[in-house]
């Protein structure tokens, strides 16, 4: 019989890798707390309508990537392809704006998109998201970029740089859109089939198409920067200035348009050369109109999403957290020694001391081999003879020094010994 395999594009995070994920998540949580963000945890399933109305009908995600199904009650539901829409939904549903004018949230969890799987691109992937609600100021955008830069520094990711752009606003973007569309009308024969479609539905997306022919065709396309209104120009300049003041290097990238419709003004990505084609570790931007578009008050907002799978790949090439090693291994020889060994190990475990034992009836040699494999600091050898004599040898696996520990009150005596030897 063949064993079952996971679904294409869905991967397992095994021990060894999971410690790396934990390290990243803990570091991110510490930074979020330092910068004043609080955690929000949301459902993975939402009504399909939420994503169609927020991400945009003419985006790749909504057009072809969502895991959507009708549940047994007939409701049309979607596995969340991103977190922002759900966070806005929760923010409006619970009227959080009425409790406080400013909210800073973060959330960590899996997202689902039916993309073509490849290295760095999965159908279930995880994101670390951060959102600031109620602040129109460019300093909120700058703060998010600083959080990202700070996290990369803490994790030792040196080859990561913010790329920033402004997408304009409803006042100035339509003029740019019109200019771009008339430019694209003249180069139709050079565009890929996706871009031919995007030209009508979402022309800005043509600008960041990775197909070489499309890149060539749009080399002389109108630049967004030339169409920004005074307010958008000021906003963008302040973001840049705030980063300059913190000595954060960044690249202004007027091709950075990103795949979701709701962005206005500032957009940004953290890019690296370490990942090949999938070079974005994180992306985000401002989405002031989204709360209102989803039926709420007109509240400005800005946020980002880090691709945790990609970040883990990079951090894993820099550091590998060592697997946790037991402080003590009890080699229990003979069935009658096992109750004492088990009692002792579980007492130590509940005191926060990592201890393991030989569960099965194995020779001393094989148990010592196991202790070595686990990297135990000490091994206590208990045989029936030791119980009779009232003392068992404790071996320091590094120095090979050995002392006898009385078996009476064994867990207390071991705890005291480890405390005295400070480990
Ligand atoms: P987005 O939500 O599309 O703005 O993406 C934000 C970040 O999530 C990207 O910069 C990637 O790091 C990550 N990401 C997006 N899609 C995937 C995917 N299919 N597989 C792995 N990571 C992804």
Ligand 1 atom 4 nearest Cα: 283
Q: So what's the pLDDT on residue 422?
A: 60
Q: Give the pLDDT confidence of 284-293 residue by residue, as tens digits.
A: 999 999 999 9
- Supply the pLDDT for residue 274: 76
The four Cα atoms 227, 212, 123, 14 give a dihedral, to 10 degrees, of: -110
Q: What is the pLDDT of residues 161-182, one digit of tens each?
A: 999 999 999 899 899 999 999 9
User: Does residue 259's CB lie within 6 angstroms of at least one atom of ligand 1?
Assistant: yes
Would the pLDDT of 112 be above 90?
A: yes
Distance 396 CA to ligand 1 centre (A): 48
Average pLDDT, the chain: 93
What is the DSSP track for 38-81? EE----SEEEHHHHHHHT-TTSHIIIII--EEE-TTS-EEEE-S
Which band of pLDDT confidence, cut at 50, 70 and 90, is reported for residue 398? very high
**Which residues, other chains included, contact 409 with Cβ-Cβ below 8 Å and sequence gap of 6+?**
none
pLDDT of residue 423 exceeding 90, the answer is no
pTM comes to 0.91
Instruction: Check: CB of residue 207 under 8 Å from CB of residue 255.
Output: yes
CA dihedral 133, 138, 140, 146 (to 10 degrees): 150
What pairs with residue 306 in β-bridges? Answer: 128, 282
The pLDDT assigned to 189 comes to 85
- Beta strands 124-133 and 103-112 are antiparallel
- In this prediction, what percent of the chain has a pLDDT beyond 90? 77
pLDDT band at 320 (very low <50, low <70, confident <90, very high): confident
59 pLDDT band, cuts 50/70/90, is confident
Residue closest to 224 by CA, chosen among 173, 261, 263, 187: 173
Q: Are 224 and 166 in contact (CB under 8 A)?
A: yes
pLDDT band for position 421 (50/70/90)?
confident
Give the residue-averaged pLDDT of 386-390. 94
Residue 327 has a pLDDT of 96
153 by DSSP, 3-state: which?
A: helix
pLDDT at 259: 65
Residue to substitute in 28, 305, 311, 314 for testing ligand 1 pocket (most ligand atoms within 8 angstroms of CB)? 305
Question: Quick check: CB of 17 below 6 Å from ligand 1?
Answer: no
Q: Do you know the residue count of the chain?
A: 423
- Pairing relationship of beta strands 328-332 and 355-357 according to DSSP bridges: parallel
Strands (E), 254-399: 264-271, 280-286, 301-307, 328-332, 355-357, 378-382, 391-396
Q: Is the CB of 309 under 6 A from ligand 1?
A: yes
- Joined together, the tokens standing for residue 60 give 């790749």
> For 69-92, what is the mean pLDDT?
96
Query: Helix or strand or coil: residue 228?
Result: coil
Assess whether pLDDT exceeds 70 at residue 298.
yes
Residue 321 has a pLDDT of 80
Residue 285, CA atoms < 13 Å, CB-side half-sphere: 26
Q: Quickly count: other Cβ atoms within 10 Å of residue 207's Cβ.
A: 22
Closest C-alpha among 380, 331, 359, 307 to residue 125: 307
Note the pLDDT tens digit of each residue in 184-225: 888 888 889 888 888 888 888 888 888 888 888 888 899 999
Instruction: Determine if ligand 1 sits within 6 Å of the CB of residue 51.
Output: no
Ligand 1 atom closest to the CA of 120, numbered from 1: 21
pLDDT for 260 equals 67
Closest ligand 1 atom to residue 84 Cα is 2
Rounded to an integer, what distance in angstroms lies between the CA atom of residue 206 and that of residue 407? Answer: 75
Q: Kindly state if the Cβ of 80 falls inside 6 Å of ligand 1.
A: no
Phi, psi of 331 (to 5 degrees): -85, 110
Residue 281 Cβ < 6 Å to ligand 1: yes
Number of helices followed by number of strands (H, E) in the chain:
16, 16
277 band by pLDDT with thresholds 50, 70 and 90? low
Region 96-103: mean pLDDT is: 97
393 CB within 6 A, ligand 1: no
Ligand 1, atom 11: closest residue by C-alpha:
307
| Cα gap 86→80, rounded to integer Å | 8
CA–centroid distance, residue 307 to ligand 1 (Å): 5
CA of 255 to the centre of ligand 1 (A): 18
């Amino acid at each position: 019989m063949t064993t079952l395999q996971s679904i294409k594009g869905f991967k397992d995070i095994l021990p060894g890798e999971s410690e790396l994920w934990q390290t990243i998540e803990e570091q991110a949580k510490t930074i979020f707390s330092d910068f004043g963000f609080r955690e929000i945890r949301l459902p993975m399933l939402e009504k399909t309508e939420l994503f169609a109305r927020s991400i945009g009908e003419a985006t790749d995600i909504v057009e072809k990537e969502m895991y959507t199904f009708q549940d047994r009650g007939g409701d049309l539901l979607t596995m969340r392809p991103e977190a922002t829409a759900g966070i806005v939904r929760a923010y409006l549903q619970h009227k959080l704006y009425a409790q406080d004018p400013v909210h800073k949230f973060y959330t960590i969890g899996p997202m689902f998109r039916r993309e073509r799987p490849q290295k760095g691109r999965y159908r279930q992937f995880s994101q670390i998201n951060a959102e600031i609600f109620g602040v129109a100021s460019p300093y909120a955008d700058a703060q998010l970029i600083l959080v990202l830069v700070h996290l990369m520094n803490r994790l030792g990711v040196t080859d990561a740089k913010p790329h920033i752009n402004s997408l304009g606003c409803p006042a100035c973007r339509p003029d740019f859109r019109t200019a771009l569309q008339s430019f694209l009308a003249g180069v139709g024969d050079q565009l890929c089939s996706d871009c031919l479609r995007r030209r009508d539905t979402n022309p800005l997306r043509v600008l960041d198409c990775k197909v070489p022919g499309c890149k060539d065709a749009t080399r002389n396309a109108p630049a967004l920067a030339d169409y920004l209104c005074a307010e958008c120009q000021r906003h963008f300049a302040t973001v840049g200035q705030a980063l300059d003041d913190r000595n954060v290097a960044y690249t202004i990238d007027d091709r950075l348009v990103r795949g979701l419709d709701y962005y206005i003004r500032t957009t940004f990505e953290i890019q690296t050369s370490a990942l090949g084609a999938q070079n974005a570790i994180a992306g985000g931007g401002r989405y002031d109109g989204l709360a209102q578009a989803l039926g709420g008050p007109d509240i400005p907002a800005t946020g980002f999403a880090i691709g945790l799978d990609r970040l883990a790949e990079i951090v894993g090439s820099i550091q590998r957290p060592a697997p946790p090693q037991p402080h003590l291994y009890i080699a229990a020889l003979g069935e009658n020694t096992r109750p004492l060994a088990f009692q002792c190990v579980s007492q130590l475990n509940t005191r926060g001391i990592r201890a393991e034992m030989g569960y099965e009836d194995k020779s001393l040699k094989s148990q010592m081999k196991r202790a070595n494999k686990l990297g135990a600091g000490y091994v206590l050898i208990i045989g029936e003879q030791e119980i009779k004599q009232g003392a068992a040898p404790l071996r320091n696996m590094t120095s090979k020094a050995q002392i006898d520990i009385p078996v009476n009150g064994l867990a207390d005596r071991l705890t005291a010994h480890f405390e005295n030897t400070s480990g």
